[in-house]
Amino acid sequence: MTEQIYLGVDLGAESGRVIAGCWDGRRMRLEELHRFPNGPVAIADSLRWDILRLWNEIQTGLTLAARRFGKSVVSVGVDTWGVDFALLSKSGELLGQPYNYRDPRTRGMLEKAFKRVPRQEIFAATGLQFMELNTLYQLLALQRNSPEVLAAAETLLTMPDYLNWCLSGARVSEFSIATTTQCFNPAKRTWAFDMLEKFELPTKIFPEIVSPGTKIGSMRQSLADRTGLGSINVIAPAEHDTGSAVAAVPTSHTGRSNWAYLSSGTWSLLGVEVKEALLSPRTLELNMTNEGGVDSTYRLLKNIMGMWLVQQCKRAFEAHGRTWDYAELVRVAAEAPALRSLVDPNDDRFLNPPDMPAAIQEYCRETGQPVPETEGALVRCALESLALKYHTVIGSLEELTGETIEVIHVVGGGSQNNLLNQFAADACNRPVLAGPVEATGLGNVLVQARAAGEIKNLGDLRGIVRASSDMREFVPDAKMSQMWQEARGRFGELIAKRKGRSN
């Protein structure tokens, strides 16, 4: 058959791209059409996303797609990170540049929120991990600092929802991205209106929620003419990038919780797929989160501060005059002494420090550990600490689900880091399957193909991923078993001592 083309707009915290999913009836092949940088823009005392530049780059990618594939293009879908949002007025005016989730205005907002609505009540209504960057606390900061902006808002659209509005004019929110906001009730499967009213937030701004795979409209005529694509369909995939990535995990055990996924990138999102959100007191105590997935599933997971630690170390090294690429950093980390110093990656100090190496050194100094001084020692500390955090979270997931996790599937850009993959296998003492790197993009375009009737169900979709991708297996190194066992004990003691600071 002639290949059918599904376009994916995939935005991450460091870069964005427009990709083509080329479907031949058996396999999905990805082709990158346009890649562009992304990152926060500092203005006055705030961090923002340059959403207008991003939209301009997306239009460039769509134009290239029209030139490359013409009338073979079936649809387009968008995925991005969670929590951040744009506000539209009644007439469709953008009310300011969207904030970046690392903006400092939400610092201390958790405690202020708990004084208005108790922590337990917020969790019962939303099932979400408590992080100051969540949409709820961003809205509360806006309510405090800029009430006139909130008063002028007619619609809240998360980042991918806003880009869908740019594409089609639809003002809707897709299920998986809505669940990242801490404004969504997983038991009622709609917005947490009762809780929002207690915070005196305007409930009218929250739009209709649609399921992954929904056709939300056709491309705006002006955009269709400008790009040359014509009036193609606009599909809401799993718009949260991790939702798309998990849809493309190449497991053959769909419907069970005996496997875990690790979406590895700037953030590490480690969890299992479950049929219903888990809202127990123990889930709250462990500060786990319930986020939506394909086919009304939930992703029970923990957000871990991922490769961000290494990315920010690299940035600091370069600011001091030494240029590194990631391959070089992994090499010098592999040569550094093993399991010497450990940190909790989710400690608040690592969220957006001015100097990541200094923050790591400060943590080690405060906890009486050897202070890593070299680039290799700092990166190794970050990678080993991530792997040990994975082990802790795996234990929590097994406790909550009652199932033994037999294998960890690592997907996303971080799946290329063989050293971290091996550390994960060693720390968690179970096999790790790495790949596909392009899980998010594959999940995006395959959900679109399913919406077009080309794929029957989620199991078949994952079978196509297995047929379309290469995977690598990492098994625990028996020679390092004793050292990792001792390190697991030390890491557990660190977490227990500092539990009041971060979970």
Kindly list the catalytic residues.
Answer: 241
Cα-trace Rg, the chain: 22
Contact between residue 203 and residue 253 where contact means Cβ atoms under 8 Å apart: no
361: buried, middle or exposed (CB in 10 Å: 19+, 13-18, 0-12)?
Answer: buried
What are the φ/ψ torsions at residue 210 (nearest 5 degrees)? -120, 160
Tally the residues of the chain: 503
> Beta 214-218 vs 233-236: how paired, if at all?
antiparallel
CB atoms closer than 10 angstroms to residue 95: 18
Token look-up 């501060």 returns 305
Q: What is the rounded distance in angstroms from the CA atom of residue 298 to the CA atom of residue 276?
A: 6
User: 343 in helix, strand or coil?
Assistant: coil
Q: What is the rounded distance in angstroms from the CA atom of residue 202 to the CA atom of residue 198?
A: 10
**Residue 240 gets which letter from DSSP?**
B
Of 76, 82, 101, 74, whose CA–CA distance to 11 is shortest? Answer: 82
Contact between residue 472 and residue 435 where contact means Cβ atoms under 8 Å apart: yes
Residue 442 host element (H or E): helix 439-451
Residues with Cβ < 8 Å from 171, sequence gap 6 or more?
88, 155, 157, 161, 165, 207, 208
For 53, 56, 78, 97, 109, the CA distances from 156, given in Å and listed in that order, are 20, 21, 17, 13, 20
**Residue 144 gets which letter from DSSP?**
H
The amino acid sitting at 50 is D
Contact between residue 353 and residue 378 where contact means Cβ atoms under 8 Å apart: no
Instruction: Return the structure tokens found at 445.
Output: 């375009």
Q: Where are the beta strands (DSSP E) in 144-240?
A: 155-158, 172-174, 184-185, 190-191, 208-210, 214-218, 233-236
Of 405, 408, 436, whose CA–CA distance to 422 is shortest? Answer: 408
Q: What is the rounded distance in angstroms from the CA atom of residue 306 to the CA atom of residue 341?
A: 17
Q: Is the peptide bond before 118 cis (omega within 30 degrees of 0)?
A: no
Of 297, 283, 271, whose CA–CA distance to 120 is shortest? Answer: 283
Residue 366 host element (H or E): helix 356-366
Beta-ladder partners of 191: 184
